[in-house]
A and B are shown apart, each in its own frame.
Chain A
Amino acid sequence: MIFTVAVHGAPYASFASHHALGFCESLLSQGHQLHRVFFYHEAVLTGLNARVVPQGEENIVQRWLDLKQEHTVELAICIANALKRGVINESEQARYSKPAATLLSEFELVGLGQLIEAVAQSDRYVEFPA
């Protein structure tokens, strides 16, 4: 079965990523497909490249990167939500003349159309709220 998962909570402010990762890791280990993970609202901060993980806390973003490496999952960040929160890749940095790119290279900035396309292509859409 094909799944699309949406995450709505920022990594340090909510456990949305924990639930979503537990769910994604499990569905992939059961042989299902994960069409796309879509980070929306505050969850776009998951893609920040400058986070420092407090000592004793799990690096939850690393688990997303491991998931991507192991299963070639697309980690998609809503571009409209990302830009207004300062989450930009190199091409957006150049376009808006900002001092630094702030997005991890494993994440992609995509439009809302990619969320809808994913829902259209998937058998199940599961949302993890903030």
Chain B
Amino acid sequence: MKKLMCVINQPPYANSHVLELLETAMVAAVFDMQVSLLFCGEGLWNLLQKQNADPLGQRTVSKVLLAMPDYDVSAIYVCADTLQDKQIDTDEFVLPVTFLNKAAQADLMSEQDAVMGTGT
């Protein structure tokens, strides 16, 4: 079983990048890959509750994220260093997440077969 990590480092409504990456993650999970998501940098904003993308006429990213565990994407990591910078209250996250510092992220990354999303 191949391991795929999708790194989400962009905010939810800058462009279609995050939604397209989440679609890739779901398809990979359907194809029996072991998929993990890593949220870092501006990507942490994707995890906030109470998003509503109706005015933009697109899907609400937090709702797509809520479906992730249904697709067996349950390894969801958040950069602990970013969290400290942004002062976000973790109670506001839509999903249960695991916090990792950057060194642990590097360890996890090096165990993957493929990493996506770190480029734009």
Q: Give residues in A with beta carbon < 8 Å to B.
A: 6, 8, 40-41, 80-81, 111-113, 115-117, 119-120, 125, 127-130
Contact = CB atoms under 8 A, between A and B. Distances in A.
Given A113-B31, A117-B31, A120-B2, A130 B23 contact: no
Nearest to B15: A41
Contacts of B23: 80, 112
Given A119-B2, A129-B119, 16 more contacts: A8-B120, A41-B16, A41-B17, A111-B27, A112-B23, A112-B24, A112-B27, A113-B30, A116-B24, A119-B28, A119-B33, A120-B31, A120-B33, A125-B113, A125-B116, A127-B118
24 contacts: A6-B116, A8-B120, A41-B16, A41-B17, A41-B120, A80-B20, A112-B23, A113-B30, A115-B24, A115-B27, A116-B4, A116-B31, A116-B33, A117-B31, A119-B4, A119-B33, A120-B2, A120-B31, A120-B33, A125-B113, A127-B116, A127-B118, A127-B119, A129-B119
Interface residues of B, number: 18
Interface in B10-26: 16-17, 20, 23-24
Interface of B: 2, 4, 16-17, 20, 23-24, 27-28, 30-31, 33, 113-114, 116, 118-120
A40 to B, nearest CB: 8
B20 A41 contact: yes
Contacts of A128: 119
B73 to A, nearest CB: 13
Contacts of B114: 119, 125
Contact of B120 (A6, A80, A130): A130
A43 to B, nearest CB: 11
Contacts of B24: 112, 115-116
Contacts of B120: 8, 41, 129-130
Contacts of B16: 41
A119 B23 CA distance: 15
Contacts of A112: 23-24, 27
